[in-house]
């Protein structure tokens, strides 16, 4: 099993837990769109496809922020899981929210509401400036994903002061361990 790190808008800098996980996990790679700062949905979808093709199968997506919406767009276009074994989706932003980046609004705003063809777990913060808990819970439910409120952690990014975010790694490990059967994850 391998892990594909899928950062959101702007990528994840060195202090972000995703970058720290990537550095610590031998079986992790990162997707690399050309349009980090002016996200283009088609570019991001192509980058996700490339990342999936290059990763060892099966692949667990570790998506943050805008990449959660990317995952939903990918699932809306693909009716089957393909190489994706599971997805951990952290801090999905509300594309209709006031804080959603204008640069991403053109392609990412209309998010498909289809069930994921793979097990998924959404982690959300109770004080995320980019999405309410109600939005995050609805995002998870509409896609048949599990949901967990991890408390007040902001946007669950570098500014949240999580460091290596060991609790997140434990949640990922428990989630993946529970994914022995399709859509039966705890």
Q: Residue 10's domain is classified under what CATH number? A: 3.40.50.1820
- Specify if 184 maps to a domain: no
Query: Does 112 reside within a domain?
Result: yes
Please report, to the nearest 10 degrees, the dihedral formed by the alpha carbons of residues 136, 138, 142, 145 taken in order.
Answer: 50
- Structurally, the chain folds into a number of domains equal to 1
Under DSSP, the state recorded for 36 is S
Per the prediction, the chain carries an average pLDDT of 93
Helix (H/G/I), strand (E/B), else coil: 149: strand
Structure tokens at 128: 């995320």
- Look at residue 183 and tell me if it is in a domain: no
Is 170 within a domain? Answer: yes
- The better pLDDT of the pair 186, 64 is held by 64
User: In this structure, is residue 185 part of a structural domain?
Assistant: no
Ranking 36-40, 103-107, 110-114, 126-130 by mean pLDDT, the lowest is 103-107
- The arithmetic mean of pLDDT across residues 135-152, rounded, is 97
The rounded distance, in Å, linking the Cα atoms of 150 and 97 is 21
Reply yes or no on whether the pLDDT at 123 is more than 60: yes
The structure tokens 């991001």 sit at 44
Domain membership of residue 186 (yes or no) is no
Q: Which domain holds residue 38?
A: 2-177
Confidence grade of residue 180 (pLDDT, cut at 50, 70, 90):
low
Burial-class residue 169 by CB neighbours within 10 Å (0-12, 13-18, 19+).
Answer: middle
pLDDT at 182: 40
């Amino acid at each position: 099993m391998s892990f594909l790190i899928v950062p959101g808008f702007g990528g994840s800098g060195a202090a972000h837990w995703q970058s720290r996980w990537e550095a610590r996990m031998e079986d992790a790679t990162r997707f690399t769109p050309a349009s980090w700062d002016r996200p283009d949905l088609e570019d991001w979808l192509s980058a996700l496809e490339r990342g999936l093709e290059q990763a060892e199968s099966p692949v667990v997506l570790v998506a943050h922020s805008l990449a959660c919406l990317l995952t939903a767009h990918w699932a809306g276009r693909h009716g089957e899981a393909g190489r994706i074994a599971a997805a951990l989706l952290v801090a999905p932003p509300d594309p209709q929210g006031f804080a959603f980046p204008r640069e991403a609004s053109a392609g990412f705003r209309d998010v498909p509401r289809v069930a994921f063809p793979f097990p998924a777990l959404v982690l959300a913060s109770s004080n995320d400036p980019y999405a309410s808990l109600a939005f995050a819970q609805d995002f998870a439910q509409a896609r048949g994903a599990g949901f967990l409120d991890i408390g007040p952690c902001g946007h669950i990014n570098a500014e949240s002061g999580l460091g290596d975010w060991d609790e997140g790694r434990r949640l990922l490990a428990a989630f993946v361990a529970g994914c022995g059967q399709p859509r039966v994850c705890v």
